[in-house]
């Protein structure tokens, strides 16, 4: 796939991920949390970015004020136009199922385009971040609908915040310490395992439902928690860490 030299941004709820597409492939990528940006300023980002780009494309779910700030900083750094991806009725072979297309999150839309264009067959796209989204697309590119549920960290923090005795758990403990995989001998471990099991159960149930309906999709995982989920998931899956950036690279061709 050839195209412009593009700087690509996936602005999520927790972190900002970026990639540089040299016209043929994404050759550089990285990420920074919103917390680090707030503490250290945008120099912590711009010092890691190229300046010789033709265009910039952003998939933003981090809010309007963040988008405005990012566009100003990147526009000055690269001296290029900054564009924001939008959800549409149809694009790059994928057809939106929403009655009001713009209500579908742009990150979900871009990820579906990236997955469908890569595999050219039915896909089930799981983006495991602060929230987990599950979207199905058939072999003709028709979006079949989706699911949204709390991510692993969000589930764990909710248990701490909305109960009186359960501890705050930042990361799930290593499974190697468990006599029976999935069952922990500590409260922190039980919380972590439960959150992971909930997400895996949702993904496995979604795949079972699609197969019962005679679909045979490729299961594609992306997002910050994808590797943790893959480690315990009872389903064959493709891991595409840069899936949203891949979708943006495809969409960036429209800017030439």
Active site residues: 107
- Between CA 132 and CA 46 the distance in angstroms is 29
Identify the burial level of 60 via C-beta atoms within 10 angstroms of its C-beta, where 0-12 means exposed, 13-18 middle and 19 or more buried: buried
Token pair for residue 227? 């590797």
- Per-position b or e across 131-145, b if 16+ CB within 10 A of its CB: bbbbbbbbeebbbee
Structure-block tokens of residue 75 = 């526009």
CA pseudo-torsion sign 54, 59, 64, 67? negative
Helices (H) and strands (E) in the chain, counts: 8, 12
Asked if 253 and 117 touch (Cβ cutoff 8 Å), the reply is no
* 216 close to 120: Cβ distance less than 8 angstroms: no
Q: Which helix (H) or strand (E) holds 174?
A: none
Question: Which burial class, exposed, middle or buried, applies to 194 when counting CB atoms under 10 A from its CB (0-12, 13-18, 19+)?
Answer: middle
Q: Which two tokens stand for residue 6?
A: 């593009």
């Amino acid at each position: 796939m050839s195209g412009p030299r593009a700087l690509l941004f996936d602005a999520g709820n927790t972190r900002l991920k970026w990639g540089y597409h040299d016209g043929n492939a994404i050759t550089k990528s990285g990420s920074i949390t919103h917390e680090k940006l707030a503490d250290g300023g945008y120099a912590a980002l711009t010092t890691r970015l190229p300046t010789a780009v033709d265009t910039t494309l952003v998939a933003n779910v981090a809010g309007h004020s963040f988008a405005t700030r990012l566009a100003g900083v990147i526009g000055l750094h690269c001296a290029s136009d900054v564009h924001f991806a939008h959800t549409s009725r149809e694009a790059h072979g994928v057809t939106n199922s929403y009655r009001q297309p713009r209500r579908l999150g742009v990150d979900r839309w871009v990820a579906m385009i990236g997955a469908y264009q890569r595999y050219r067959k039915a896909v089930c796209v799981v983006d495991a971040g602060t929230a987990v989204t599950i979207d199905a697309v058939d072999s003709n590119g028709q979006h079949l609908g989706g699911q949204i549920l709390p991510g692993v960290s969000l589930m764990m923090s909710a248990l701490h915040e909305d109960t009186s005795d359960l501890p705050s758990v930042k990361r799930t403990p290593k499974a190697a310490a468990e006599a029976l995989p999935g069952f922990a001998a500590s409260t922190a471990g039980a919380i972590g395992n439960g959150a992971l099991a909930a997400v895996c159960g949702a993904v496995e149930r979604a795949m079972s439902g699609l197969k019962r309906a005679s679909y045979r999709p490729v299961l594609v995982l992306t997002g910050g928690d994808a590797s943790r989920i893959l480690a315990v998931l009872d389903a064959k899956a493709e891991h595409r860490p840069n899936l949203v950036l891949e979708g943006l690279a495809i969409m960036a061709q429209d800017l030439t």
